Amino acid sequence: MTSAAESEFPLASRRRRRFTRQRIGHAAAPYALLAPTAIAIGVILGYPLYLLVKMSFEKYGLFELIRHKGRWVGTANYAHILHDGQFWHVLLRTIVFTVVNVTLTMVLGTAIALLLLQVSRWLRVALTTGLVLVWSVPVIVAVDIWRWMVDYEFGVLNWTLTKLHIGNFIRHDWFANPWTGFAVITALIVWGAIPFVTITVYASLAQVPQELLEAAAIDGAKPLAVFREVTLPLLTPILVILTSLSIIWDFQVFQQIWVILDFRPTSDYYTMAIYAFHQSFQISEYGLGAAIAVVMVLFMFLATLVYLRQMLRTGEVQ
Amino acid sequence: MTSGTQIAPTPVAPIIPRKLGRRRRVHKLGWNLLGLLVLAVMVFPVYWMVATAFKPGQQILSYTPHWIPRPPTLSNFRDAINQPFFWDAVRNSLIVVTTVVALSVVLAFLASLALAKFHFYGRKAFIVLILGVQMVPLAALIIPLYIMMSRLGQVDKLTGVIAMYLTFVLPFTVWTMRGFLLGIPKELEEAAMVDGATRFGAFVRVLLPLVGPGLVATSIFAFIQAWNEFLIAYVFLHTPEKQTLMVWLASFTTLRGTNWGPLMAGATLCALPVVFFFLLVQRRIAFGLTAGAVRG
């Protein structure tokens, strides 16, 4: 007993030391596990973001590109684009484009999700499979399909519209006029975006408790009232998330316009992303392009905040 | 194992009183017709691509559309794969995609392990960072990325593209993996440890087999993203021998204008692996999809 009492002190201290070392190891483990991911994100997302802001205050042309060093010019780039009529045109065009595309995507996507609840079971299976099929089509492939369907000579769309007596569309070039050109681009983007919205909304529609709907119906509520008072409030969180994601995707639209117009869209087709791309990569004014891109990021930041807040609220982030 | 990954069960139709039956049936017929119309409109473009790919030339260049390829031919596919640089593009896409998938799954697994199984300071901040970082527009980042990569001598190199793809798929893959790990009950691990397994042993024998499906789904997501990406590949890879399939497909035009048959055949070939894998994970689609990133 006495020997045990004597040795108690060193033993305890040894145990305590081991315990703390273990605890430190345990506390460091998650950081070590996160490190590779954090480093990758820091180097390839974080640093370029910083560089983007820095470049937007610099003259960065071909000469600077070769020297690997920009020349500080203060807010000159911003002053330049804010006094540039084309910039305001492009900004307005991008905003209108985003509003139209997001509205169409959300309304049609939700409508089809509601339709899924009404149709027979076999058709529901067929529709979901069809939607997943459309969803899986790569963007560039989708662009090529639509380019082919609206081809001015042999396109199936012109033939169909002419046959339906909507007008004479024989040899009608949709891209000659930017309004009809953007109509095609909108159709292509909305077509590609509907499956994601529909399937997500349908998944949450299916989770609306049936008893709630029945109770409302028994209380004499009309279907439209049931939808507005019961279903819609339950759908709101997912609709907010989907809308903010759609805004973010559509505001930065680039590849659909770029590829469908054969890599050389006229300035009538410029959106923010294409304008920034043109300024930097085609006329080598990387500083100006960066300033335009910063404005673009700021516009999209708002949608990002709404998205993050809703994700936090929904409890997705635990 | 119920990990909440499948699409929620279809709601049960309420019991209809007999009196309303007839009116309901008429209603249902109307809805079904509308549903069929929607299905036709949505699927037609995909059908049109495949149909065109199998059509002989004179049926493609015809003022009256031929709805069904008769007789179907494979000549468009032959033309497509004999286009210059097709096999280079296939090889490059495969190199890029396999490297990105392998690296991203390992890194994402480690990171999601930290997020799902540990409580530590800054955890929530990291999750918000991961969600927020996906929202930074690539079209804006491409400018400084190009400057940075040209300083590092990584322009026109597959390694640079791989590094960028890896980083862009990481947030989403981490998020997805984390969801799968959260779905595994803690009790399973604890039971293994009570039975005498070490933490590591419990991890290898219990956790790892259970996250198998998660690893598969995550790698397929990474595969689809890397396979479909266009903008980075287009900006960074200049020489035709180094381009990926999507860049090859996008620049598929001949001097005499677009050759629609081979183009649609090429498009079908490029879409095929993605469609296959997408349908494979479709059960898991409803899962974690609001975390962004995966869109066709």
Domain residue limits, chain A? 2-41, 85-313
Q: How far is A308 from chain B (nearest CA, A)?
A: 7
Asked whether the beta carbons of B60 and A154 are under 8 A apart, the reply is: yes
In the stretch 284-303 of chain A, residues with CB closer than 8 A to chain B read 286, 289-290, 293-294, 296-297, 300, 303
Q: Which two tokens stand for residue B91?
A: 């090889």
Q: Which two tokens stand for residue A181?
A: 């050109």
3-state per-residue secondary structure call for B259-282:
CHHHHHHHHHHHHHHHHHHHHHCH
Phi/psi of residue B185, each to 5°? -65, 140
pLDDT of residue B131: 84
Q: Does B15 touch chain A (CB under 8 A)?
A: no
Mutation target to probe the A interface, by most A beta carbons within 10 A, among B20, B34, B38 is B38
Nearest chain A residue to B119, by CA? A30
Q: Which residues of B touch A204 (CB under 8 A)?
A: 8
A160 CB-near residues (< 8 Å, 6+ apart): none
What is the ipTM metric for this complex? Answer: 0.87
Q: How far is A201 from chain B (nearest CA, A)?
A: 10
Q: Which amino acid is at A238?
A: I
Domain boundary (B73, B94, B120) is at B73
Domain boundary (B8, B43, B73) is at B73
> pLDDT (tens digit, 9 = 90+) per residue, B113-127?
899 888 889 888 998
B97 with B141, same domain? yes
Asked whether the beta carbons of A226 and B27 are under 8 A apart, the reply is: no
pLDDT of residue B16: 46
B253 with B151, same domain? yes
* Domain A85-313 fold: MetI-like fold (1.10.3720)
Is residue B254 classed as helix, strand or coil in its secondary structure? Answer: strand
In a structure prediction context, what are the per-residue pLDDT tens digits for chain A, which is 318 residues long?
444 444 444 444 555 555 566 666 677 889 999 999 999 999 999 999 999 999 999 999 989 888 888 899 999 999 999 999 999 999 999 999 999 999 999 999 999 999 999 999 999 999 999 998 998 899 999 999 999 999 988 999 999 999 998 888 888 999 999 999 999 999 999 999 999 999 889 988 888 888 888 888 888 888 888 888 888 888 998 899 899 989 999 999 999 999 999 898 999 999 999 999 999 999 999 999 999 999 999 988 888 888 888 888 876 655
Domain assignment of residue B7, yes or no: no
Residue A119's beta-bridge partner residues?
A: none
pLDDT of residue B136: 86
B32 with B161, same domain? no
d(CA A159, CA A172): 10
Phi/psi of residue B14, each to 5°? -65, 150
Q: Which two tokens stand for residue A69?
A: 């060093």
Asked whether the beta carbons of B74 and B229 are under 8 A apart, the reply is: no
A171-180, B75-84, B200-209, B252-261: segment of lowest average pLDDT: B252-261
B137 with B247, same domain? yes
Interface contacts (A, B; CB < 8 Å) = 311
- Interface contact B64-A159, CB threshold 8 A: yes
B165 with B131, same domain? yes
Q: Could you tell me how far CA A316 lies from the centroid of its own chain?
A: 18
Asked whether the beta carbons of A85 and B174 are under 8 A apart, the reply is: no
Q: Could you tell me how far CA A64 lies from the centroid of its own chain?
A: 33
Provide the 8-state DSSP code for A90. H
Task: Evaluate the CA torsion angle B136, B144, A185, A90 in order and state its sign.
Answer: positive
Domain assignment of residue B261, yes or no: yes
Q: How far is A85 from chain B (nearest CA, A)?
A: 21
- Interface contact A154-B63, CB threshold 8 A: yes
d(CA B244, CA B253): 16
- Interface contact A254-B42, CB threshold 8 A: no
pLDDT of residue A21: 61
Would you say residue B7 has pLDDT above 50?
no
Nearest chain B residue to A30, by CA? B114
Asked whether the beta carbons of B130 and B195 are under 8 A apart, the reply is: no
Q: Which amino acid is at B58?
A: Q
Q: How far is A101 from chain B (nearest CA, A)?
A: 15
B147 CB-near residues (< 8 Å, 6+ apart): A51, A55, A60, A65, A286
Q: How far is A11 from chain B (nearest CA, A)?
A: 24
The CA–CA distances, whole Å, from A158 to A26, A154, A169, A173 equal 67, 8, 5, 9
Would you say residue B11 has pLDDT above 60?
no
Mutation target to probe the B interface, by most B beta carbons within 10 A, among A37, A94, A162, A270 is A37
Provide the 8-state DSSP code for B290. G
Asked whether the beta carbons of A190 and A108 are under 8 A apart, the reply is: yes
Domain count, chain B: 2
- Interface contact B111-A36, CB threshold 8 A: yes
Give buried/exposed letters for B77-99 (b at 16+ CB in 10 A, else e).
bebbeebebbebbbebbeebbeb
Confidence (pTM) = 0.86
- Interface contact B114-A34, CB threshold 8 A: yes
Residues in chain A, how many? 318
B90 with B236, same domain? yes
Q: Does B38 touch chain A (CB under 8 A)?
A: yes
Asked whether the beta carbons of B134 and A252 are under 8 A apart, the reply is: no
Q: How far is B111 from chain A (nearest CA, A)?
A: 4
pLDDT of residue A211: 85
Task: Provide the residue range defining the domain that includes B65.
Answer: 18-73
**Which has more confidence, B185 or A103?**
A103
pLDDT of residue B251: 84
Q: Does B281 touch chain A (CB under 8 A)?
A: no
d(CA B291, CA A308): 10
> pLDDT (tens digit, 9 = 90+) per residue, B27-59?
889 999 999 999 999 999 999 999 999 999 889
Q: Which residues of B touch A142 (CB under 8 A)?
A: 45, 296
For residue A71, give the H/E element and its range. Answer: strand A71-72
> pLDDT (tens digit, 9 = 90+) per residue, B242-280?
999 999 998 887 545 678 999 999 999 999 999 888 887
- Interface contact A27-B120, CB threshold 8 A: yes
In the stretch 248-267 of chain A, residues with CB closer than 8 A to chain B read 248-249, 251-252, 254-255, 259, 262-263
Burial class (CB in 10 A: 0-12, 13-18, 19+), A24: exposed
pLDDT of residue A317: 59
Q: Of A96, A156, A220, nearest to B62 (Cα)? A: A156
Q: Radius of gyration over alpha carbons of chain A, in Å?
A: 28
Q: Which amino acid is at B126?
A: F
- Interface contact A140-B246, CB threshold 8 A: yes
Of A119, A192, A207, the CB nearest to B35: A119
Q: What is the DSSP string of B131-194?
A: HHHTTS-HHHHHHHHHHHHHHTT-TT-HHHHHHHHHHHHHHHHHHHHHHHHHTS-HHHHHHHHH
Helices (H) and strands (E) in chain A, counts: 15, 2
Would you say residue B180 has pLDDT above 60?
yes
Domain boundary (B28, B51, B73) is at B73
Nearest chain A residue to B148, by CA? A48
B133 with B264, same domain? yes
Q: Of B216, B225, B215, B220, nearest to B93 (Cα)? A: B225
Peptide bond into B71 cis (omega under 30): yes
pLDDT of residue A316: 60
Provide the 8-state DSSP code for B208. H
Q: Which two tokens stand for residue A285?
A: 């004014």
**Up-side HSE of residue A205: CA atoms within 13 Å toward CB?**
22
CATH code for the domain in which residue B252 is found: 1.10.3720.10
B132 with B157, same domain? yes
